């Protein structure tokens, strides 16, 4: 397997378009055009990332299915066997949120240090530097799609049908997930060039972020339920991952109110919203995420001017 800084796939992608030197003075419109013109390079980098990650592995991409399955098994054992929470079909509830979180976490964590890790490529070749963190997000998307297939298998095994009316909303929700992950990844990859400790700090922040998102607990027992008592529920939804996770859980887990398998009391698993509410909220978020993505490109442009000297 070739080194990523000298990969033929990378140079092949670079040779298909005229060289453009990116600097802090490049306008946002031109930056977007440059990214679009280098989409083949982005594709090659995504494939290169996946090949490098599983270099020498006997199971290869199969690990992208096994890792979340093992994690799911641990959480299921803890919350359904040891610390019984009484949630029916907890595997589907947990996994529908976990695959969303895995994509976000994998994208952000791998992208945070990607420019530092590929310093040789950055210093030797002129190309839109944003492609590097976007390639990390692209790799996370591939793993997400594989894990989504595993979730579909779980639905068949448990004879659990999704909420068909919600399926039409998922492309919008996925666009929100991609844009948010891309925005955070682009900004963090630039900051890490100047502050190398940022990658270690991000690892801690992602752990905290995970428990602040409604992945493991029901909506009633999450931070949202605590804040609702103080009329601060809006603060909970300032975390974009909250709505994204809840939309996936509402689509695949379906039920908003269930009976505890232990106490037989009702549990509010998800917000009691109509599908139309999810649609409107996701459309509103899409507008915000597009703006956030454009802002992340502007920030990256301001910071990339001294990359070569810092690296």
Task: Enumerate the domain spans of the chain.
Answer: 4-10+27-310
Q: What is the pTM of this model?
A: 0.85
Q: Which two tokens stand for residue 51?
A: 């090949």
Q: What is the pLDDT of residue 231?
A: 59
- Residue in the structure block whose two tokens are 């990523």: 4
Give the 3-state secondary structure of 194-258.
HCCCHHHHHHHHHHHHHHHCCCCCCCCCCHHHHHHCCCCHHHHCCCHHHHHHHHHHHHHCCCCEE
- Round the average pLDDT of the chain to a whole number and report it: 82
3-class secondary-structure state, position 113: coil
Question: What length is written for the chain?
Answer: 311
In which band, very low, low, confident or very high, does the pLDDT at 280 lie, cut at 50, 70 and 90?
Answer: very high
DSSP letter for 270, please.
S
For residue 18, is pLDDT > 70?
no
For residue 57, is pLDDT > 70?
no
Say which range, 61-70, 123-132, 152-161, 222-231, has the weakest mean pLDDT.
222-231
Task: Tell me the chain's radius of gyration from C-alpha atoms.
Answer: 21
Q: What is the pLDDT of residue 6?
A: 46
Distance of CA 217 to the CA centre of its chain: 19
In which band, very low, low, confident or very high, does the pLDDT at 64 lie, cut at 50, 70 and 90?
Answer: low
Q: Give mean pLDDT, residues 169-179.
A: 97
3-class secondary-structure state, position 122: helix
Q: What is the pLDDT of residue 136?
A: 92
Residues contacting 251, CB < 8 A, separation 6+: 96, 162, 163, 166, 167, 169, 170
As a whole-number percent, the residues of the chain with pLDDT over 70 amount to 84
Q: What is the pLDDT of residue 61?
A: 64
In which band, very low, low, confident or very high, does the pLDDT at 1 lie, cut at 50, 70 and 90?
Answer: very low
């Amino acid at each position: 397997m070739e080194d990523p800084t000298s990969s033929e796939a990378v140079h092949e992608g670079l040779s298909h378009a005229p060289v453009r030197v990116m600097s802090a003075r490049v306008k946002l419109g031109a930056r977007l055009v440059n990214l679009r013109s280098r989409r083949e390079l982005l594709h090659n980098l995504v494939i290169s990332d996946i090949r490098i990650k599983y270099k020498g592995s006997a199971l290869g991409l199969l690990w992208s299915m096994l890792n979340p399955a093992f994690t799911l098994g641990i959480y299921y054992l803890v919350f359904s066997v040891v610390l019984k929470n009484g949630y029916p079909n907890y595997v589907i509830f947990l996994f529908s949120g976990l695959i969303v979180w895995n994509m976000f976490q994998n994208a952000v964590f791998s992208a945070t240090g990607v420019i530092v890790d590929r310093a040789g490529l950055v210093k030797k070749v002129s190309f839109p530097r944003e492609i590097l963190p976007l390639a990390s997000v692209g790799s996370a998307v591939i793993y997400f799609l594989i894990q989504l297939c595993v979730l579909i298998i779980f639905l068949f095994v448990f004879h659990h049908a999704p909420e068909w009316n919600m399926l039409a909303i998922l492309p919008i929700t996925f666009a929100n997930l991609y844009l948010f992950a891309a925005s955070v990844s682009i900004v963090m990859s630039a900051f890490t060039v100047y502050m190398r400790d940022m990658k270690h700090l991000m690892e801690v922040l992602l752990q905290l972020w995970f428990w602040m998102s409604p992945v493991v607990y029901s909506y009633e027992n999450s931070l949202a339920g605590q804040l609702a008592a103080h009329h601060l529920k809006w603060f909970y939804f300032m975390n974009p991952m909250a709505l994204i996770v809840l939309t996936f859980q509402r689509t695949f887990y379906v039920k908003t109110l269930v009976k505890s398998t232990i106490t037989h009391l009702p549990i509010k698993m998800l917000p009691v919203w109509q599908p139309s509410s999810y649609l409107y909220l996701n459309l509103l978020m899409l507008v915000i995420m597009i703006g956030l993505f454009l802002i992340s490109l502007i920030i990256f442009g301001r910071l990339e001017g001294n990359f070569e000297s810092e690296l």
